Structure 1
């Protein structure tokens, strides 16, 4: 599994995940949409930590400078 995410992409994903988590845990967004957003936030954080996005691979997208 080669890295395909750059540092700016990772930072943006973590910020978006934090916003989604804040909206969910302050009950601004609830129900099914809230659940979907909190799951998406988890995926964003996970992909940021491993620097690999599975959706980028089939399209050949790489936002990292190396490789």
Structure 2
């Protein structure tokens, strides 16, 4: 089972960055391959933000949440 390893600030920042990427793409500020790549990052940011788990944090033992019970 995945244990939550992201705090509220981390989740909020990820979702905000994703919204900015999506907005820039649909406003045609970023296009082409870069636009598609940023849309994929936005999808990952939204997914990880909502499930409160970042797979890249896990192998390094990094937690941005403060609750000790989530670390066990």
What is the TM-score with the length of structure 2 in the denominator?
0.91
Aligned to 1:40: 41
The Cα RMSD (Å) is 0.5
Runs of 5+ consecutive residues of structure 2 not aligned to the other structure: none
1:17 equivalent to 2:18? Answer: yes
Note the alpha carbon deviations across 1:2-31, whole angstroms, 9 max, x for none. 000000000000100000000000110000
Aligned to 2:62: 61
Note the alpha carbon deviations across 1:21-58, whole angstroms, 9 max, x for none. 00000110000000000010000000000000000001
What is the TM-score with the length of structure 1 in the denominator?
0.97
CA distance in 1, matches of 2:25, 2:39: 7
Runs of 5+ consecutive residues of structure 1 not aligned to the other structure: none
Aligned residues: 67
Aligned to 2:52: 51
